[in-house]
A and B are shown apart, each in its own frame.
Chain A
Amino acid sequence: MKTITPYLLRFALAVTVLTIIFRYFLSYGIEKQSGIIIAISAATYGLLMFASGWYFGRKDGEYLPIYDIGFRFHLTTYLIHNGISLLWIGFGLGSKHENLSVSIMAAVLWGISLLIHFAFFLWARKNSINNLDKEDIFE
């Protein structure tokens, strides 16, 4: 079953680039103990992530209307964001004020919300055939 679509891959690429840039400015802001840099980088990252999710999600729906209530995009974001964050701190690229346990805790808490989303995804699949909404197949 084809669930890794071209637009999901493009979204993953965008998330990777945005997250690396965000991680750089976040660590820089923490290092300089600048609340403004931290706030601006977080807000910009949040906005750009939302915009890319909205854009690629819409394109993905036009390409193939997979009925997953956004779960594939959420899972992709989770894996890339937390993967990069853990590696960033793990390889010592973060500020000296950052530690791995905070990133692990963020991944765990986010993971819980991802599990809840997964439960909704499983429930929504009842209305689909091969992950396509029954009402969208023969529209």
Chain B
Amino acid sequence: MEDDKKLNELLLSWEDTYKKGQLTLWIFMALQESKKYVDEIKNFIEKKSDGTISCEEQSLYRALRKYEHIDVLTYDLKEGNKGPDRKYYYLTNLGQELFNQFVDRNIKIFHSNEIKKILKLNEQ
């Protein structure tokens, strides 16, 4: 019982740290799929991550502003259902290249057979 509690606390602590750096990757993955406005990006992240990544709208807006500022994404304005036009974000060429190189260097290593074996992914 005591061990379960400790394990849970350690897991939450590790996940908190791990998830902090994940938002960028999930935003880029959302935009990799198609142009999206903020609500769609948020829904994509929460759905595709099985709810493990929750993003507050404020954090999302702040991240999008930063990425727009550094020219890795931009947007088209399109009419929304009601109210003001929606910003449909998409990756620029720089953003696409950044995403590709990041995936090559940091994600693809998890797909080698050796790492899969260590992670025991084939057993599941």
Contacts and interface: CB of A to CB of B under 8 A. Distances in A.
Nearest to B24: A138
B66 A64 contact: yes
Contact of B69 (A62, A64, A138, A139): A64
A105 interface: no
Given A1-B69, A129-B70, A130-B69, 15 more contacts: A2-B69, A62-B62, A63-B62, A63-B65, A64-B66, A64-B69, A65-B66, A130-B70, A131-B69, A132-B66, A132-B70, A136-B66, A137-B66, A137-B70, A139-B20
12 contacts: A1-B69, A2-B69, A62-B62, A63-B62, A64-B62, A64-B65, A64-B69, A65-B66, A130-B69, A132-B66, A132-B70, A139-B20
A137 B21 CA distance: 11
Contacts, number: 24
If over half of A's interface residues share one DSSP class (helix, strand or loop), that class is named, otherwise mixed; here it is: loop
B76 interface: no
A61 to B, nearest CB: 10
Interface residues of A, number: 14
Interface string A50-84: 00000000000011110000000000000000000
A2 B32 CA distance: 25
Contacts of A137: 66, 70
Nearest to B20: A139
A75 to B, nearest CB: 19
Q: Which of A1, A130, A138 has the most CB of B within 10 A?
A: A138
A64 B58 CA distance: 12
A8 to B, nearest CB: 14
Nearest to A5: B65
Interface in B1-41: 20-21, 24
Contacts of B70: 129-130, 132, 137
B71 interface: yes
A139 B20 CA distance: 7
Interface string A108-139: 00000000000000000000011110001111
B21 to A, nearest CB: 7
Given A138-B21, A138-B24, A130 B71 contact: yes
